[in-house]
Structure 1
């Protein structure tokens, strides 16, 4: 192997300042995401955690195919300000990506013109195995750019790396841990749910209203709580042990309306008012997703034709989800191909919520369609495979239904209505309403209030526009108790899937609380 000296190269003493590649041939500390250590003091806990903030971006424009160039051109720019969306070709505000694409095109043209008489410089490509004593060639221009960076920025990067290492070594905030509070309940069935009484954690890191919260569906990792907010961020919390924010994802440029865990608990699907869908890896974050993308692995990120308000994964096909929003159409996507599988067309303006019925062969959509005398098309039943309407005459009262929830054991579902009550329906055709049961007493008043059954199916819980949480007996439809949880409208209240009587609530002011 021979080394070639170029006219714009520096001496060995200057080259020695460059970092040595690791075993994979990549520069160390090139793709680590920015990390800032923040100490949190949760009630009944003095543990400290780290909040990770992958860099966000705004003002993106232009969508094209995924970049397929080698990762080394990206790593040489030593720029950590890279963030989703990952399928964008070029957008303003990120000089690093434009330089990477330029280098990639220069390398391609160099290989094409190698047979001509014009002398061309060869683009360096690191080998997969580092050779001892030989440093890779880095263009002088890039070395000068790196050397001109302020020392403060370098120290911040070093501090971020130290914090990240400390985070992983300590094991206190890692995503794969199993909470000591959850372990005793993993081998047994869920016990009877009781109404929570005391406040455990109050988490207020969001600067805008919280639209949705969800516990991780994997029982061993159900200490994690997902939240989507109008402040354009998605957060993952340790809502069982410490009440700390584990990570913040800022990949959207507008409010995040919907966020859902994947069935494996490793990924988060998000959609918002920027009409963009993102699938984010929880453990590695955005930068690692970008790295995996350049290695050739499929990462889902796409722009839709409408603002997104509802997302639901298929209960049996983990790579399929349904997306709805400010559009008369609802679409089913496949993450493996990044393509639309089916389109469900309804003569409505907006889809408010989506609910899969048992086994996933049918699903329901609640819409904003309300006529003067009745509310046909307010709830529509669809056949998932054929995209055909099964019924649009399910609910006949003049109220929209902002949310739907399925009973965990019985073939029934509940619809939250803007008439300040919840209605009970059969989950089997013809989806008749139960006129003998009506859960009323709370206030909706136009808020997209969620409702949910307890894991044992005995309680029905909902938030209220006055900040309270209402607990109903499922069988008698009577109010068991009310909880004064928030000052602003309580948007959602959900029970923990493993720990009995543990409840998480969120409100329109951005607060998330955990009760027991």
Structure 2
């Protein structure tokens, strides 16, 4: 993309809060569960989307707003999809309990496998590009190796579902957020794992009685944020023992049972989140104050993500199947 080229060699400038709608993309016929910009900066005009309509789509979300490709390898809702680090493949998983690794160009499956559970979370290892974690409606999270098409390791907890997965510190540790919130205890809501040994490091991280539908890591500081069903985002240290920051809380948006995603801007100054009322909220990371809200969608907005290179470009998606690009 000619728009991205001038930014490739230079340092990322300060993120600006987007104000105006550039593209309105409405080819999905069901809720959009996940969106992700291509991680290869030269190809970061491409946006991936996964939907309840059983498809994964790739869009040119910078120059034209057009759908470039549709992949229909799933027989049920696609709950999770991720770009590979090389930007040439897409990993997807859904409620048909199948995993597919698809070649972006040809649309052919490089790897396919059936799991024993409906998939709701997928994350590639940050340094080992052939390994990914898969979680869903099961007490188990599995580490897979694409080269062998086999499960490397299993991480087992006394939970029914994994809601999200987040890698920490070069992938040596990772966190899972789960549905384990009971009347008498909130342990196991967020669990920290040792990637290599599959040992639990801690399950005493978050003590409020709310599930956390999404987790996100700060790009520069050793902290992470958990989106909670208490209609606020909580801030934690990403170092053991992963203490919560009791002084900061990001609230004003609504979650209300939707898997509302949250993310930091690439420079780490802003925290952005969707909201079940269709709005997008921009918080100042340092002060935790709301900087601006954007009336983005009529239905629940479940994801809002900043472009990795262009400093004020934002993609949002909603429960009606719409994707919008803002600047």
TM range (shorter): over 0.9
TM alignment of 1:418-433, pairs within 5 A? 418-433=229-244
Q: Distance in 2 between matches of 1:298 and 1:360?
A: 26
Offset from partner CA, 1:227-282 (integer Å, 9 cap, x none): 00000000000000000000000000000000000000000000000000000000
TM-aligned CA deviation for residue 297 of structure 1: 12
CA distance, structure 2, for counterparts of residue 180 and residue 413 of structure 1: 34
Return closer, same or farther for 1:217/1:398 CA change in 2, 3 Å cut-off: same
Pick the aligned partner of 1:235 from 45, 57, 82.
57
Tell me, yes or no, if structure 1 residue 465 matches structure 2 residue 276. yes
Relative distance call for 1:298 and 1:180 in structure 2 (3 A) is: closer
CA distance in 2, matches of 1:407, 1:448: 20
User: 2:92 aligned with 1:270, yes or no?
Assistant: yes
Task: Give distance in 2, aligned partners of 1:255 and 1:423.
Answer: 29
CA-to-partner distance for each residue in 1:327-357, whole Å, 9 max, x for gaps? 0000000000000000000000000000000
Cα distance in structure 2, aligned partners of 1:311 and 1:190? 28
Contact 1:449 / 1:463 at 8 angstroms: preserved in 2? yes
Distance 1:431 1:184, change over 3 A: same
Q: Is it true that 1:245 corresponds to 2:67 in the alignment?
A: yes
Say if 2:100 and 2:109, in contact at 8 Å, map to a contact too: no
TM-score with structure 2 length normalisation? Answer: 0.99
Provide the rounded CA distance (Å) in 2 between the counterparts of 1:373 and 1:480: 37
Partner Cα separation in structure 2 for residue 221 and residue 486 of structure 1: 27
Which structure has more helix as a fraction of its residues? 1
**Given the superposition, is the C-alpha separation of residues 199 and 297 from structure 1 closer, same or farther in structure 2, using an over 3 Å criterion?**
closer
Shift of 1:373: 3.1
Q: Residue 138 of structure 2 aligns to a residue in which SS?
A: coil
Is the Cα contact below 8 Å between 1:360 and 1:384 reproduced in 2? Answer: yes
After superposition, the CA RMSD in angstroms is: 1.3
Deviations 1:391-445 (A, max 9, x none): 0000000000000000000000000000000000000000000000000000000
- TM (normalized to structure 1)? 0.63
Secondary structure of the equivalent of 2:109? coil
1:300-339 equivalences in 2 (<5 Å): 300-339=111-150
Say if 2:283 and 2:291, in contact at 8 Å, map to a contact too: yes
Deviations 1:122-141 (A, max 9, x none): xxxxxxxxxxxxxxxxxxxx
* Greater share of strand: 2
CA drift at 1:187: 0.1
Task: Give the drift of 1:375.
Answer: 1.0
Alignment check: 8 A CA contact 1:298 1:336 kept: no
Equivalent-residue separation in structure 1 for 2:109 and 2:28 (angstroms): 31
From the superposition, tell whether residues 191 and 297 of structure 1 become closer, same or farther in structure 2 (CA, over 3 Å).
Answer: closer
Q: Which has the larger radius of gyration?
A: 1
SS of residue paired to 2:170: helix
Pick which of 469-478 and 373-382 moved more: 373-382
Separation in structure 1 between the aligned mates of residue 93 and residue 3 of structure 2, nearest angstrom = 32
Residues 5-44 of structure 1 deviation map (CA, whole Å, 9 limit, x = unaligned): xxxxxxxxxxxxxxxxxxxxxxxxxxxxxxxxxxxxxxxx
Contact 1:465-1:489 within 8 A present in 2 as well: yes
Q: Gaps (5+ residues) in structure 2?
A: none
Shift of 1:300: 1.1
Aligned equivalents of 1:410 and 1:456: distance in 2? 10
Provide closer, same or farther for how the CA distance between residues 297 and 242 of structure 1 changes in structure 2, counting only shifts above 3 A: closer
- TM superposition shift of 1:482: 0.3
Tell me by how many angstroms 1:298 deviates: 9.4
CA distance in 1, matches of 2:171, 2:11: 24
Alpha-carbon distance in 2 for matches of 1:249, 1:191:
35
Which residue in 2 is equivalent to 1:441? 252
* Structure-1 separation of matches of 2:247 and 2:263: 20
Which one of the candidate residues 384, 398, 401 is aligned to 2:212? 401
Does the CA contact (< 8 Å) of 1:233 and 1:250 recur in 2? Answer: yes
SS in 1 for 2:6: helix
1:458 and 1:297, CA in 2 relative to 1: closer, same or farther beyond 3 A? closer
Answer yes or no: is the 8 Å Cα contact 2:301–2:319 preserved in 1. yes
**Number of equivalenced pairs:** 327
CA contact (8 A) 2:102 2:109 kept: no
State the shift of 1:388 in Å: 0.2
Deviation of the 1:189 alpha carbon = 1.1
Listed one character per residue, the Cα deviations across residues 274-311 of structure 1 (whole Å, up to 9, x for unaligned) are 00000000011xxxxxxxxxxx9993100000000000
Q: Deviations over 1:163-195 (max 9, x none)?
A: xxxxxxxxxxxxxxxx00000000011100010
What SS does the corresponding residue of 1:396 show, helix, strand or coil? Answer: coil
Distance 2:11 2:185 in 1: 43
- Using the TM superposition, give the Cα deviation of residue 358 of structure 1 relative to its aligned residue in structure 2, in angstroms: 2.1
What is the 5 A alignment of 1:74-473?
A: 179-284=1-106, 299-473=110-284
Tell me, in whole angstroms, the C-alpha distance in 2 between the residues paired with 1:444 and 1:304.
29
Q: 1:206 to 1:461 in 2, by over 3 A?
A: same
CA contact (8 A) 2:168 2:174 kept: yes
| 8 A Cα contact 2:60 2:66, kept in partner | yes
